[in-house]
Structure 1
Amino acid sequence: MLVRLMYASRAAKPLDPEELVHIVRQSRHQNPLHGITGVLCTSGELFIQVLEGGRTAVNRLYNRIVCDARHTDVTLLSYEEIGERRFAGWAMGQVNLARLNPALLLKYSETAMLDPYAVSGKAAMALFDELVATAAVVCQN
């Protein structure tokens, strides 16, 4: 059974760009081994991520993220059983929120600053869908 999980978190301390590159590179290596695909949006201190795959594998990864000391305020935004993946082609696509058009963010939230803690999981997923449709995903496999 396939599931899609979306969560938000904040960096416990500021991440330098090299550390973020390392995290994404590690995800791109490890996720395919477990049948996990997804997309990560980050502003450097804010993370919004979608994970897709088998229920057990996705749940295990999410539990590791919740326990990871680099994250704080980990919040589950959406969890659903799915018939097919939206992000099947990506072990871990990446979007830099700092590069997004503020009008796109304003479409899904009260201000041009995306606050995943203040929007519904449905709105956050709609933003992800639009990012993919507009080729805003900067790094694919």
Structure 2
Amino acid sequence: MLVRLVYASRASRELSPQDLQDILRRSRDHNPAEGITGLLWYNDGVFIQVLEGGRDPVNARYKRIVMDNRHDAPILLTYQEISERRYAGWSMGQVNLHRLNPGLLLKYGETQKLDPYRMSGAMLTALFDELVSSGAIECA
């Protein structure tokens, strides 16, 4: 059974670009073996991540994230059974903030600053879908 999970959290400390690259590298190294795919957004100390895959591996990954001391205030935004993956092409894609159209943030949020704590999981999923179609996601 496939599931999609979307969560947000605040970074417990400031992350350097190298810290973020290390997180992405580890995800890209480990996710294929667990059958997990997805996307990561990190900006202004906020993580938003979409995880897709089998129920047990996705649940186990989310549990590790919640217990990880790099994350504060994790919030589960949506969790659903799915018939197919939306982000099957990425072991862990990353939002390229330099390619981000600020108008997309206004389309789905109150301001041009993304605040996942004030958005629904459906809104964030729709935003991520538009980011994929606009070419704002990168793999490496």
Question: How many angstroms apart in 2 are the aligned matches of 1:130 and 1:7?
Answer: 18
Instruction: Map 1:1-141 onto structure 2 (within 5 A).
Output: 1-97=1-97, 100-139=100-139
Extract structure 1 runs of 4+ deviating beyond 3 A.
96-99
- TM-score scaled by length of structure 2: 0.96
Percent identity over paired residues:
61
Describe the superposition over 1:37-71 as per-residue Cα deviations: whole angstroms up to 9, x where unpaired: 00001115111000000000000000000000000
Question: How many angstroms apart in 2 are the aligned matches of 1:87 and 1:99?
Answer: 18
Q: Which secondary structure state, in structure 1, belongs to the residue aligned with residue 137 of structure 2?
A: coil
Q: Which secondary structure state, in structure 2, belongs to the residue aligned with residue 52 of structure 1?
A: strand
Displacement, 1:139? 2.3
Question: How many angstroms apart in 1 are the aligned matches of 2:43 and 2:4?
Answer: 22
Question: How many angstroms apart in 1 are the aligned matches of 2:98 and 2:71?
Answer: 19
Amino acid of the structure 2 residue aligned with 1:42: Y
Q: Do the aligned partners of 1:14 and 1:45 also contact (CA within 8 Å) in 2?
A: yes
Q: Do the aligned partners of 1:43 and 1:96 also contact (CA within 8 Å) in 2?
A: no
Q: CA RMSD in A?
A: 1.2
- TM-score scaled by length of structure 1: 0.95
Q: Do the aligned partners of 1:10 and 1:74 also contact (CA within 8 Å) in 2?
A: yes
Amino acid of the structure 1 residue aligned with 2:2: L
Aligned residues, how many?
Answer: 140
Structure 1's unaligned 5+ residue stretches are: none
